[in-house]
Every structure is written in structure tokens, then in C-alpha cells.
Amino acid sequence: MDQPPGSATRQRIVDAATVLFLTRGYGGTSTRDIAAAVGIKQPSLYAHFAVKSDLLLEVLLHALRPSLEESARLQADPTLSAVERLSALVSFDVRLLCSGAANRGLLAYLPEVRATGVAAQLASHQKVLHDAYRVLVAEVLAERRLDGDADRLTTSVFALVEGTVLRRVVDPELDPDATAAEVAAGALRLIGG
Amino acid sequence: MDQPPGSATRQRIVDAATVLFLTRGYGGTSTRDIAAAVGIKQPSLYAHFAVKSDLLLEVLLHALRPSLEESARLQADPTLSAVERLSALVSFDVRLLCSGAANRGLLAYLPEVRATGVAAQLASHQKVLHDAYRVLVAEVLAERRLDGDADRLTTSVFALVEGTVLRRVVDPELDPDATAAEVAAGALRLIGG
DNA sequence: GTCTATATAATGATAGAC
DNA sequence: GTCTATCATTATATAGAC
């Protein structure tokens, strides 16, 4: 095993912080807690991140990355219909939101994300994903020759998908595949038909 | 003006804490911050709440109360059809989630709610509201002679309603009436028809 | 019920050796 | 890049006077 660029420790810090922020909250997680989970001493964190909120930003970007990559991949796929591409993106995102040890989707909605100013640094990345949803919704409307306000429908679809985050808070055992299928079907019903 | 039972100061503490928890997070809000917002000294808080997490519980119960009262009122109203009662409850809740200075609906999803053990004390109250939704969804299915899994549909409807919370995080100017109408219509589409 | 004063512990972050 | 040692600050909560 050779060392990944930026060192593997940095990624282990991000992973540990993700779980801790979601279980104890950002303010309830001390830099000592994070260091202990990684197996290093607290001041060693500052060799990787200048301040605690920089770590929060990295955690957020890392949680958003898979969705951004999948949406880019799907938008460029000519073998799928619009309905198939939207369904695939919704399913992917919902499955992602239901999977893994921690409810990563909740991260972006923590109050500290806005209080620390990290939200502003994250906004452009979130906009890319939201735009991908809007494009797909508009394409579904066109493909099915439906009337409908694409912008409003997009926010509804997005709310339904992101609602998965809140469902998982209440029910941590939420089944990824069943929920993905259910939300994907719900999204199409929301658009009309 | 005479003094309300339990003193008016207690309620002012709850109101101040609600706003602060939602803007800075629970761990990011000190008891000094709360006291300063109310205009008292920090130790005076402990004449009203034994520990900080007791204040969090009261904040949560206070945020949930209007929905519980409205759902009880609607379930007992014989002048409305099932569709009208479900629409009214969804509209009421969404309007509530969109109104007021703070995004109170987000409170229940803060990590600290579970970390402090407050979630367990809140669960029975949340169940009452969720059950009200389930009853109304089942009645709509019966009224419209639709086939459908009431439990699954209830969770979808609930997710759509609660998704409003996340939308308001991103867009604090979310219009209460327009969003309520949109979500209520979406809920009926989710159920079928 | 509010105050002053304080105990006790934990916090984020820095300095400097290796 | 990690460590030990430490600083300055802030935290929750208590004691006791009024």
C-alpha cells in the first residue's frame, strides 16, 4: 500500500468527524474526540486543518461528491430516456442517503453550517446538483408532453428526495432499495401522469 | 396584564433558546447566550431548568404543540371530508413550518436531540402526530376507493411535508401559503388519483 | 426568582522539540 | 506529521445572599 495524495490520515479524520458531527453535533464534538477516534493527539489535527470549521467544510464536500459525480455521468448518458435518467438519479441519491454508517445527508442542514459561514462555500456545489435535477425534470416534462412548472416541480421532487434524510433520522434501519424505488416512483407521480 | 402560570420569563427563555439553537446550534449556544437574549444573568436560568438539555426538551415540545392541537381538532371535525381534513392538516403544518422567525421544524432533527436522550422523551408526542396522518391517509383511501398501502403512503406524505423544513433552510423566504398549497396538492397526488 | 461569586472542567488553538 | 506542554477562554453548574 502506498500513501494516497494528501495522506490517508486526512481522510480518516474526515470520516471520523462525519460520524461524530452527526451523532453528537458539531459543537458537541471536540477536536479531542475526533483525534481520539483517529488514534492521534488533538494538536496533530492542525497539521491537516487550520481551524475546526475547515474540517466541517471538507466533511460536507466529501458527502456531496458522489451525487455530483453520478448526476454528471447520467446527464451525459444518451442510452437512457429522461424518465430513466431522473429515476436513476433519484434512486442513486436516496440509496446513498440510506446507506453507510452515518446519515450524511443531514450534515448540510446543521445550524453550524450556516453559523460558521461554511454554507456560502458549499453553495456553488449544491447548485450544480439542484440544476441537474431541474434539467432532468424539464426533460421529463418535454418527453411526456406534460404541462407543468419545471422549477416548482423540481423543488417538490428535491424536497421528496431530501425528505429521506429526515426519515432516516427517525428510522435508522430505512431500507435503501425499497426506499429508493418508492421515492423514485413518487417523484414521477409528483411531476404528473 | 397578570402573570401567566409558570412565569412569563420561562416562556421568554424557551423562545430565545429556540432561535439560538437554530442559528448557532445547540452546542454552539451557551447558557450565557440565552440568558443575555432574555436579559437575565446566566445562573438565573437554573431557577427554571435543572440542566441545559431540559430546556432543549421544552423547546421541542413547544414547537410540536400547535400541530398536535390542530390534528386533534381536525380529526374530530365531522363537517369535512377526509380529503379536506388531510389537506387542512398538511396545509396547517406546512404553513407553520414556513412561518415565524425561526425554522422550528428543524429542531427535532438536530443531532443533540438524540445525543442528549431528549429524543426518547419526545417520541410519544411525535407518534401522536404521525398516527393522525396515518388515520387521515387511510380515510382518504377509503373515501376515494383507492388501493394503496396506507402505512407506506403515510411515510411518503410525511416526508413530503417535513421536506419543507429542509427547503426553508435553503430558502428562508419560502412563501407559507404557496408552499402549503403546493405540498397539499402534492400529498394528494402521492396517495393516488 | 434573581443576583454575585466561584468551582471545576473542557474547549480551540499555538509553540517548539523530534 | 506527530508529539508534549501549555495558554487563554469559555463552558455548565452550584452556593449562598437578598
* B85-95 tens-digit pLDDT: 999 999 999 99
Residue B100, pLDDT > 80, answer yes
pLDDT of residue A192: 87
CATH number, domain at A68?
A: 1.10.357.10
Question: In chain C, which nucleotides are within 7 Å of a protein Cβ?
Answer: 1-6, 10-16
Binned at pLDDT 50, 70 and 90, residue B169 comes out as confident
Write out chain A residues lying below 8 Å of B190, CB-based. 186, 189-190
pLDDT of residue B178: 97
Contact (Cβ atoms closer than 8 angstroms) between residue B171 and residue B103: no
Structural domain includes residue B185: yes
Distance CA A188, CA A140 (A): 9
Structural domain includes residue B11: no
CA distance, residue B23 to nearest chain A CA (Å): 5
- Between chains, do A25 and B182 touch, taking CB under 8 Å as contact? no
Structural domain includes residue B161: yes
Distance CA B151, CA B110 (A): 25
- Between chains, do A26 and B28 touch, taking CB under 8 Å as contact? yes
Out of A109, A111, A186, closest to residue B156 by CB? A186
Structural domain includes residue A166: yes
Q: Indicate the number of domains in chain A.
A: 1
Low-confidence ranges of chain A (pLDDT < 70): 1-5, 193
pLDDT of residue A169: 86
Contact (Cβ atoms closer than 8 angstroms) between residue B179 and residue A155: no
B120-133 average pLDDT score: 97
Structural domain includes residue B105: yes
Domain span including residue A112: 51-191
Structural domain includes residue A28: no
pLDDT of residue B193: 66
Q: Output b/e per residue, B44-80; b: 16+ Cβ within 10 A.
A: ebeebbeebbebbbbbbebbbeebeebbeebeeeeee
**Which residue intervals of chain B are DSSP H helices?**
8-24, 31-38, 52-75, 82-98, 111-115, 118-143, 150-170, 176-191
pLDDT of residue A170: 79
pLDDT of residue A4: 60
pLDDT of residue A193: 66
By C-alpha distance, the chain B residue nearest A19 is B111
Long-range Cβ contact pairs of A80-85 (< 8 A, separation 24 or more): A81/A143, A82/A136, A82/A139, A82/A140, A82/A142, A82/A143, A83/A140, A83/A143, A83/A144, A83/A188, A85/A136, A85/A139
Structural domain includes residue B139: yes
pLDDT of residue B9: 97
Residue B37, pLDDT > 90, answer yes
- CA B61 vs CA A163, B54, B104: distances in Å: 22, 11, 11
Question: In chain D, which nucleotides are within 7 Å of a protein Cβ?
Answer: 1-6, 10-16
- Between chains, do B163 and A167 touch, taking CB under 8 Å as contact? no
Check if B182 contacts A (Cβ < 8 Å): yes
Structural domain includes residue A76: yes
- Chains A, B: CB contacts under 8 A, how many? 113
Check if B127 contacts A (Cβ < 8 Å): no
Residue B1, pLDDT > 70, answer no
B9-21 average pLDDT score: 98
Asked which of A75-84, A164-173, B99-108, B137-146 is least confident by mean pLDDT, the reply is A164-173
pLDDT of residue A3: 53
On whether the pTM is more than 0.85, the answer is yes
Binned at pLDDT 50, 70 and 90, residue B192 comes out as confident
pLDDT of residue B149: 96
Residue B4, pLDDT > 80, answer no
Residue B5, pLDDT > 70, answer no
CA distance, residue A185 to nearest chain B CA (Å): 9
Digit-coded pLDDT (tens) for B71-81: 999 988 999 99
Residue B156: count other Cβ atoms within 10 Å of its Cβ. Answer: 25
